[in-house]
Amino acid sequence: MSAITVTRVRAEAVAELATATWSNGLLIGNEVVMSGMTGHPATRQATERGEPLGAYAQTLVVLNKCKALVEAAGGHIGNIYRLRVYLTDIANKDEVGRARRDFFAGQATYPISTLVEVGGLVFPELCVEIEASARLDIDLSVTA
């Protein structure tokens, strides 16, 4: 049995630290798997300006990072089929849902999704983290 090719996916919009011990995205065959994405550093910059980003804005920042990684792998947002959403306050679920509707507007089918509340994320200003999966051989943007 031959091994499936694995390629590290990098996108300009998703910075990687030189010292990182993880990959933001991997292309494994036709599948794009992504680490949990947050709104950092945009959330930190907004907080420093005194304009913290709420759940809606953070969700859009994160989904655009996911989109950038999928596009860097040769795909588009219609290839994203799974989202795992982590919230620090479940009361923000409606804002996250609104951001998902706006982001995936016009698609025939929304990605499957899990949404859970967690006790905290890596930085205190973060309220949303999303882990996404995509396949380059499927397209949720078209009607089946």
Residue 73's pLDDT is: 98
**Confidence category of residue 42, pLDDT binned at 50, 70, 90:** confident
Residue 86's pLDDT is: 98
Residue 19's pLDDT is: 86
Structure tokens at 98: 């609104």
Residue 144's pLDDT is: 65
Percent of the chain topping pLDDT 90: 82
The closest of 71, 87, 85 to 9, measured between CA atoms, is 71
Task: Provide φ and ψ at 56, rounded to 5°.
Answer: -60, -55
Strands 25-28 vs 6-9: parallel, antiparallel or unpaired: antiparallel
First to last CA, the chain: 33
pTM: 0.93
DSSP 3-state of 12: coil
**Confidence category of residue 48, pLDDT binned at 50, 70, 90:** confident
3-30 average pLDDT score? 92
Q: What is the pLDDT of residues 71-128, one digit of tens each?
A: 999 999 999 999 999 999 999 999 999 999 999 998 999 999 999 999 999 999 999 9
Q: What domains are there in the chain, each with its CATH number?
A: 6-135 (3.30.1330.40)
Tell whether the model's pLDDT for residue 143 goes beyond 80: no
Task: Give how far the C-alpha of residue 4 lies from the chain's centroid of Cα atoms, to the nearest Å.
Answer: 24
Average pLDDT, the chain: 94
